[in-house]
Amino acid sequence: MCAELRDAVVVDAVRTAFGRAGEKGIFWRTRAEDLCVPVVKALLHRNPAVKPEMIEDSIWGVTNQIKEQGGTLGRMVPMLADWGWEIPGCSIDRMCASGLTGIGFGVTYIASGMADCLICGGVEHMGHVPMGFMRDPHPRAEEVMGDASAFNMGMTAENIHDQFPQFTRGMADEYALASQRKTELAIEAGKMNDMVVPVEVELENGTRMLVEKDQQPRPGTTLEALSTLKTPFKENGRVTAGNAAGLNDGASAVLLMSRRMAEDLKLMPTMRWVASGVAAVDPRLMGTAPVPATQKALTRAGLTMADIDLVEMNEAFAVQALYCLDKWGLAPDDPRVNRWGGSVAYGHPLAASGPRLVAFLAGLFKENPSARYGLTTMCVGRGQGYSIVWENMTTG
């Protein structure tokens, strides 16, 4: 065990395309584990100095750990990648932030001197394992969480609208439109090309194809179309399918190392872990939790939001994004925030979204060497928030 914290760095980060959950989804005939294997293999293929025997743990975020996502998926993935039996693994559940928590655990694992090389990822196949599938809430769960709305993420977003009426349906739709437009521009500019790992899938007719394009984004979205969508969670509500993240299938993974090991292998890390923060709030307002989580991380880093050059925030719902930005003193169109679009457009395959944020920030750091600090942050079902502050290592 080391006496002082060591630098923990991100060497690389990749993901699958994100598909829509359900029978019309591109991954309907693909298992969750078979989404993970291509991304971990890609990490080593892209970094040939790293060999399977160097990986000291496989830490995977998985929200619904049942059926194909049960059985300690983190342990199974390295074996399914044909890397042998010697790589241990585990699965972590912090609902939406399961994958980001896995990365948070991984960087502290390395910083403490307990490991030098880890793969941390997240996966969710919401088509095969729907949210809440086979859960058995405690008889007092509704009582301790406030009321039944805490179980329904769409209702928690409606609760934010109710409690903070300054964030209107119109504002949420405008934010969603901006997310779609940024996403469309990023995809057209090829920003996803180096990040998305092709996955071979079987189609309904039995043929096979490579999938490397996100299915969820809706290019050409208009404000007029968004304004006509129904509000499924509440009569005359404000949350719609257009201003909320979708139900999706996908996997993302990150290669973490100690800075010393990366230097020994002559690898070029993209960013260094600075500080993490996790916080909890009223479960009925779960989307507000990134605010206290980020404050904890910033305080530990000795920074303020003014020091943050790039923000990757998971857009579970447009209204919760608007709330957080307002509390941070940022405008809805602040150029530091989600430059390549967010989950309202790409979708939100729960545990895969946290590592996706890290992959986006790593890519943005590469093309913005003058940016020094970045933030990855997300809200979590049951009223939690998770944030990590990173420092750019591509500045020369």
**Catalytic residue from among 36, 117, 324, 379:** 379
Task: Give the CA-trace dihedral at 101, 365, 257, 79, to 10 degrees.
Answer: 70
> Coil, strand, or helix at residue 79?
helix
364, 340 contact by CB (below 8 A): yes
Please say if 96 is a catalytic residue: yes
The upper half-sphere exposure of residue 237, i.e. CA atoms within 13 Å in the direction of its Cβ, equals 22
Catalytic residue at 138? no
Cβ pair 154, 382 in contact under 8 A: no
Alpha-carbon distances, residue 168 vs 174, 198, 235, 316, 336 (angstroms): 10, 39, 15, 16, 23
Contact in structure between 128 and 68 (CB atoms under 8 Å) = yes
91-97-100 Cα angle (round to 5): 75
Catalytic-role residue among 36, 96, 120, 324: 96
- List Cα–Cα distances, 287 to 83, 98, 307, 322, 339, in angstroms: 39, 16, 23, 10, 21
User: What is the CB neighbour count within 10 angstroms for residue 203?
Assistant: 12
Q: From CA 76, how far away is CA 57, in angstroms rounded?
A: 12
Coil/strand/helix, residue 373: strand
Total residue count of the chain as it appears in this document: 396
- DSSP for 57-77 reads -EEEE-SS-SGGG-S-HHHHH
H or E stretch including 208? strand 208-211
Residue 379 bears catalytic tag: yes
Structure tokens at 351: 């545990």
Q: How many CB atoms lie within 10 A of CB 144?
A: 9
Which is catalytic among the residues 125, 128, 161, 348? 348
Which residues have a catalytic role annotated? 96, 348, 379
